[in-house]
Amino acid sequence: MPKRKPSRLAGPNPRAQFWAGARATIPLLVGAFPFGLIYGALAVTSGLSPWAAAAMSAFVFAGSAQFISVGLIAAGTPTLIIILTTFVVNARHALYSATLAPYLRKVSSRWLVPLGFWLTDESFVVAAKQFEENPNQKNKESYLLGSEIAMYLNWQMVTWIGIAAGQAIPDPQGWGLDFALVVTFIGMLIPMIKGRPTLAAVLVAGAAALLGNSLPNQSGLLLAALLGNAAGVLTERAWPSPRLRGAKRRSNPQRGTT
Amino acid sequence: MNEVFLIAGMAVVTMATRIPLLMLLSRRKLPPAIESALKYVPPAVLSAIILPIVFMPGGELELSPGNASLVASLVAVIVAWRTRNLLLTIILGMAALLIWRAASVF
């Protein structure tokens, strides 16, 4: 693949935004790699046929729900219960789409359906960060799409590799590969903490997630995210930051175009 | 188990969480107060995903040096804080995990 220009030179046209979104997602592709491998390997050993394991990545495309469903399949859970659990586990995506929707005002439904279908934790975090820092950026939908397609193609590829070769790896989780996503998320989270409100959101969400960890089907995660967000909003109201530190210094790819 | 039914069902419920609000809320002009009310969702979600894995690797709270995830996460937090470099954070965090695990065998 030819070398692309750095993102700060990317213009506002859809193609440049698409590549900027894909590029910003590269570290997350690396983070998702071991997960796809492990998912593929576990899926075929749980009793799912190889084609079904691949089809799940293609049509459901939701890492944690896929993992949980494989666990449930191995435990002999009825299909309807697995589907219901998938809904609860994925409920957090509703929060993501509600957060991104205001940035996609002028986008047609023809775009919104695929943008929604491909929306994952990773693309959400990449896009939400980008749009919050650059609210006037043009062609946001192309940026989001670039991130999503990069995640999607990567996920399909690593799933196939996992299905094909995963059974040859004994105890894939024992290697600590499942930890790759945690360090990836830490690398994304820490630079986001720029003031009291974000810090409050992070601390409250984290504490709530620990307390709610025993709640079924990751409903604790959803609750923790909502509580953390509320803590951020309330802190912002109680102590409005005198000036937004970092917001001025940060390079703005849209400088001079808006 | 019917795999076609399973995957179709999972796909439909997943789309139900992803698409409708995107279409609904991008069509309607919301008051700015409500728009900014979801501002802290990204950091909150990340924190809520990370902390249970780090502090409760086996489902129970583990606050000891024997918890390699905790030690490696501290390394990752420091690297991320000092360098703001995502790839470096991933590499050094993973290296810390493997080294700590290998060291705690002895």
Q: Write out chain A residues lying below 8 Å of B81, CB-based.
A: 190
CB A220 within 8 A of CB A213: yes
Closest CB from B19, B43, B53 relative to A202: B43
Question: Which residue segment(s) compose the domain that A68 sits in?
Answer: 18-184
Q: In this structure, are A157 and A209 located in the same domain?
A: no
Question: How far out from the chain centre does Cα A109 lie?
Answer: 22
Q: In this structure, are A203 and A169 located in the same domain?
A: no
Tell me, yes or no, whether A13 lies in a domain: no
Cα–Cα distance measured from residue A255 to residue A38, given in angstroms and rounded to the nearest whole number: 42
Tell me, yes or no, whether A37 lies in a domain: yes
Q: In this structure, are A148 and A229 located in the same domain?
A: no
Burial B45-64 (b: 16+ CB within 10 A, else e): bbbbbbbbbbbbbeeeeeee
CB contact under 8 A, A100 and B22: yes
Which pLDDT tens digit goes with each residue over A211-232? 988 887 667 878 888 899 999 9
CB A65 within 8 A of CB B10: yes
Tally the domains of chain A: 2
Q: In this structure, are A52 and A150 located in the same domain?
A: yes
Instruction: Give the 3-state secondary structure of residue A238.
Output: helix
Closest CB from A49, A93, A185 relative to B49: A185
Q: In this structure, are A87 and A127 located in the same domain?
A: yes
Cα–Cα distance measured from residue B101 to residue A99, given in angstroms and rounded to the nearest whole number: 39
Dihedral of the CA atoms A216, A217, A222, A223 (nearest 10)?
-10
Q: Which of B94, B52, B43 is nearest to A175 (CA)?
A: B94
Residue A30 has pLDDT above 90, yes or no: no
CB A156 within 8 A of CB A56: no
CB contact under 8 A, B10 and A86: yes
Instruction: Give the 3-state secondary structure of residue A21.
Output: helix
Least confident of A39-48, A105-114, B48-57, B65-74: A39-48
CB contact under 8 A, A121 and B98: no
ipTM field? 0.85
Mean pLDDT of chain A: 83
Q: In this structure, are A29 and A62 located in the same domain?
A: yes
Q: In this structure, are A119 and A224 located in the same domain?
A: no
CB contact under 8 A, A83 and B21: no
Alpha carbon of B61: minimum distance to chain A alpha carbons (Å): 8
CB contact under 8 A, B53 and A193: no
Q: What count of CB pairs under 8 Å joins A to B?
A: 274
Q: In this structure, are A87 and A206 located in the same domain?
A: no
Tokens read off for A212? 């709610």
Which pLDDT tens digit goes with each residue over A40-95? 887 887 788 899 999 999 999 998 889 878 877 877 788 988 898 888 888 889 98
Listed in sequence order, the residues at least 6 apart from B63 whose beta carbon sits closer than 8 Å to its beta carbon are: B55, B70
Last residue of a domain, one of A184, A202, A230: A184
CB contact under 8 A, A87 and B17: yes
Listed in sequence order, the residues at least 6 apart from A178 whose beta carbon sits closer than 8 Å to its beta carbon are: A34, A35, A38
Residue in chain B closest to A24 (alpha carbons) equals B86
Is the model's pTM score more than 0.80? Answer: no
Q: Which of A107, A89, A105, A95 is nearest to A145 (CA)?
A: A107
